[in-house]
Structure 1
Amino acid sequence: MTFTELPFVERVGRIHELGFLVEIWDWSTKDLGALAATGAAFSSMTGYLQGDLTTEDGAQALLSTAEQSLVAAEIIDSPRLNLHGTGLDGRGLPVVPRTSVSGADWVAAVRTLERIAALGEKHGRVFTLENLNTAVDHPGTPFATAKDTIALVGAVGSPYLRLNLDLYHAQIGEGNLIDLVTTALPLIGEIQVADVPGRREPGTGEINFPAIARALGDLGYEGVVALEGWASGDPVAAVEAFRSAFTL
């Protein structure tokens, strides 16, 4: 999402040169060998290609492509593989939109995620479940809110399934971010950020990121904070604004 004027491998190299870890979305469209050759350290990648948490066929597709993703993760040594409440298309929209989920859907989702966690344990990698907003970017996505993802990850209770707590999405859908990170802290595998509105670097919108950084420091959080946002202008200035916001 930054240095988008460059070819993809060069983007990865540029981010690495600036001292950041790198995250990628759909690994199936990337030359993973070339990415590994940049010397970059990777933090996260998409952990599936298709599927969902609740239907028999969807769960099987999710598990099958999660196994493929684990093989890909070995190439770039990505410790975390990211999931969503359902499969998303190229525009970030659910392949099969859902406006509600039943009690049976919740049970099926937990069982599917238990199998995902078992795969992670087998391969020594952590899957993360990301919250999304349905008001702006991902309408029709089930299990989308931070409240939903916290409930699912907590029900599975495995260190191989953690939260990818996205504060951009949470600000749009729920707000109260410092209380949210405090509540979610024991289940967090990673935190993602971007400012609201616009999904750009800290300082371009309404979120008080220095206050969140102080709260995370007080809580003893030592994990990854990732910028999943577009640069509002110069990409170097954008990533440096991100670095500054989370430097205590």
Structure 2
Amino acid sequence: MSGFTLAVCAEMVFRDLPLPDRVRTLHDAGFAVEIWDWTTKDLSALGATGARFTSMTGYVDGELVDPDGADRLLASAERSIAAAEALSGQGRPNLNLHGTGLDGRGLPVRPVVEVTGAMWLAAQRTLVRIAELGERHDVVFTLENLNVAVDHPGTPFASAADTRALVAAVASPHLRMNLDLYHAQIGEGNLVELLRGCVDLIGEVQVADVPGRCEPGTGEINYPVVAAALAGAGYRGRVGMEAFASGDSRAAVEAFRNSFTL
């Protein structure tokens, strides 16, 4: 049995099917579902599947450090909260954030070469506002770590150490970490100690193997060991497979389930 809530990103598997059919397929297989940019989706159709949605993008504009960008981020986050209502039949999805806005290729809209102390303070102020917004609406925002070596060069506050520091500084149950272990393996490694050091701040764990960003068991990460370490650290929350299928999608999601079934 798994002590975790297992979810699969519908953007990355069963890609020959329309999105509502992907969601329905995952739901029928016993998984919760994650999506990315809600503005491109028929939310009514997705909500009608009966699936539980555990994560979606929590902003479509703005950034953490620029005052105008922060205002746009807050306005965008409010729209995301409203959009999430269509998907909240079985519990509200987390609303996911990054260190800055990303374009369609996953690259930062405004790359940052050096993150200054002033940027850190500005990001903390913006995230305090985000947490207050989450408290008013009883939703949880998550701040996801990314990697800059392969997928997201130029993204500020990208490492798990960065997101941990910001989430800890805000100290609100309405702002948590989305600890993405694929990104962390590329950028930092030492995953078991990493998760043990931030387990009290985690709102979700996302997984994919390295290299390739496919399902657990296709790369170098020993995910059964990671799963046991998560459980041993007391984590009983959401684990999402944000990974492409290396072959058959059904086999990929079952490999994920097996890796996180203790």
Which range, TM-score by smaller chain?
over 0.9
**Structure 2 residue matching 1:202: 3-state secondary structure:** coil
Summarize the alignment of residues 50-129 of structure 1 with structure 2, pairs less than 5 Å apart.
50-77=61-88, 78-129=92-143
Task: Look up the match of 1:2.
Answer: 13
Partners of 1:177 and 1:103 in 2: CA distance: 27
Distance 2:231 2:83 in 1: 33
Q: How many residue pairs are counted as aligned between the two chains?
A: 248
**Aligned match of 2:252 in 221, 226, 238?**
238
Q: Deviations over 1:138-171 (max 9, x none)?
A: 0000000000000000000000000000000000
- For residue 43 of structure 1, the aligned residue among 47, 54, 69 is 54
Q: Which amino acid aligns with 2:14?
A: F
Higher relative contact order (CA 8 A, sep 6+): 2
Instruction: Provide the rounded CA distance (Å) in 1 between the counterparts of 2:71 and 2:215.
Output: 37
| SS of structure 2 residue aligned to 1:94 | coil
CA shift at 1:79, angstroms? 3.0
Decide which moves more: 77-86 or 23-32: 77-86
Shift of 1:95: 0.3
Query: Which of 140, 154, 159 does residue 145 from structure 1 map onto?
Result: 159
Equivalent position amino acid for 2:257 in 1: R
Q: 1:207 and 2:218 equivalent?
A: no
Q: Deviations over 1:183-215 (max 9, x none)?
A: 010100000000000000000000000101111
Q: Secondary structure at the match of 2:216?
A: coil
Gaps of 5+ in 2: 1-11
Q: Is the 8 A contact 2:87 2:93 kept in 1?
A: no
- The aligned residue for residue 4 of structure 2 is none
Gaps of 5+ in 1: none
Q: Quick check: 2:13–2:22 contact (8 Å CA) kept in 1?
A: yes
The root-mean-square deviation of aligned C-alpha atoms, in Å, is 0.5
The corresponding residue for 2:231 is: 217
Q: Amino acid of the residue matched to residue 142 of structure 1?
A: P
Q: Deviations over 1:47-98 (max 9, x none)?
A: 0001110001110110000000000011101331000000000010000001
Distance 1:20 1:171 in 2: 25
| Partner SS state of residue 144, structure 1 | coil
Instruction: State the 1:218 CA deviation.
Output: 1.1
2:189 is matched with: 175
Q: Using the alignment, how far apart are the partners of 2:253 and 2:226 within structure 1?
A: 17
- Structure-2 separation of matches of 1:34 and 1:153: 34
Partner of 1:26: 37
| Partner AA of 1:60 in structure 2 | D
AA aligned opposite 2:249: P
Whichever residue aligns with residue 117 of structure 1, its letter is: A
Q: Which amino acid aligns with 1:19?
A: G
Describe the SS at the equivalent of 1:69. Answer: helix
Structure 2: how far apart are the matches of 1:243 and 1:105? 39
Identity among equivalent pairs (%): 67
Q: Secondary structure at the match of 1:201?
A: coil
